[in-house]
Structure 1
Amino acid sequence: MKLSRGLAAIPAALAVLGGVAVGSAGQAQASQVMEGVYNYTPADGKAGTWTIYPSCVPVVGDLREPLYLPVGCRLHVQGSKDLVGGDATLAGGIWQFTTPVDRGMQCPDGSWAPTVEVYRFDDATMSGTRSVQHNGNCGLPPGIINTPFSLSFKEPLPIPVDRYPLICEPGGLRRCF
């Protein structure tokens, strides 16, 4: 008699455990993607701010639920004053963007030469490197000037941002619109 009551309790316990497992399955969330106004402080040069707006697309995952990972994101970086900006993408855990600058380097004679600036930064350590590449237009040998910088959070964005603006269909190819 005691054995049959104990066996009868097993399906009820499994149903409760199954309900807990189903109830706890939710959307997969990644670490927070950078968003807001950040202080940009180079090792040498002019400081300023970066305003960063994220825009993401849900990653397919296993086709049951979209995965919200930063690999599906792009950071729209807007620089203040003399700072350049661009669209940063994530590669190897580092955010990076490249921007051509028409008047990037002043030559010894006072004229200006174009450069290409590459910014790489880590959102975990809030540090990065600015690389200015010049091709020797000023009579100087071509080269790359690397300058480290740090970022610090200043304030939230002035307007709300929909981080995942696209709606993806629920199955199959996961076309987004």
Structure 2
Amino acid sequence: MMKISETIYLKSITEHDLDDLRTLMDKIYHPAYINYWKDKGDWYVSDLYNEENLHQELQENEADYFFILLKDVIIGIMRTVWNLDTNYQPDKNYVKLHRLYIDQEIQNKGIGKKIMSWLIKTATEKGYKKLWLEVMEKQHQAVHFYKKLDFTEVDKVMVDFPLLYDNYRGMYKMVKELKK
């Protein structure tokens, strides 16, 4: 377990955590994205948080997958992928924040900022030049959060997930320059 602050910890997710991961994502994904999906997000959660996909993601050599704990309560997840090409700028000196979800009941208490500060510091110490992520265009609170951390929009793509309403397909790619 890694300590981020006096009350925030990261705990590595293992294959034995599938039930806890699925229960958590059922709880925190649906309220945030319920209006995006024709099935309220059930397909997405089932597709991403199943045994086969978890096994595959845990096998990736340069990826970290964590539960976020507030004291001893799991409140979210974070997944990072190190040395990943961005598809728009082939450069292996990028870190991708692949997922960051925090329970909406806990948001706006500075936890996301502390997690991001830790990630930015860790990536900078490892010598990475840029941190990138993808965020749904209509997730205005998330876009604003990342902009406050000096991420800039570098591209916009349209995602092609089945059951996603057309007006919610926009996704920004955002990048933060890391400085030593």
Please confirm whether the aligned pair reaches a TM-score higher than 0.5, indicating the same fold.
no
More strand by share: 1
More helix by share: 2
* TM-score bin, normalised by smaller chain: under 0.3
Q: TM-score, normalised by structure 1?
A: 0.26
In terms of Rg, which structure is larger?
1
Q: TM-score, normalised by structure 2?
A: 0.26
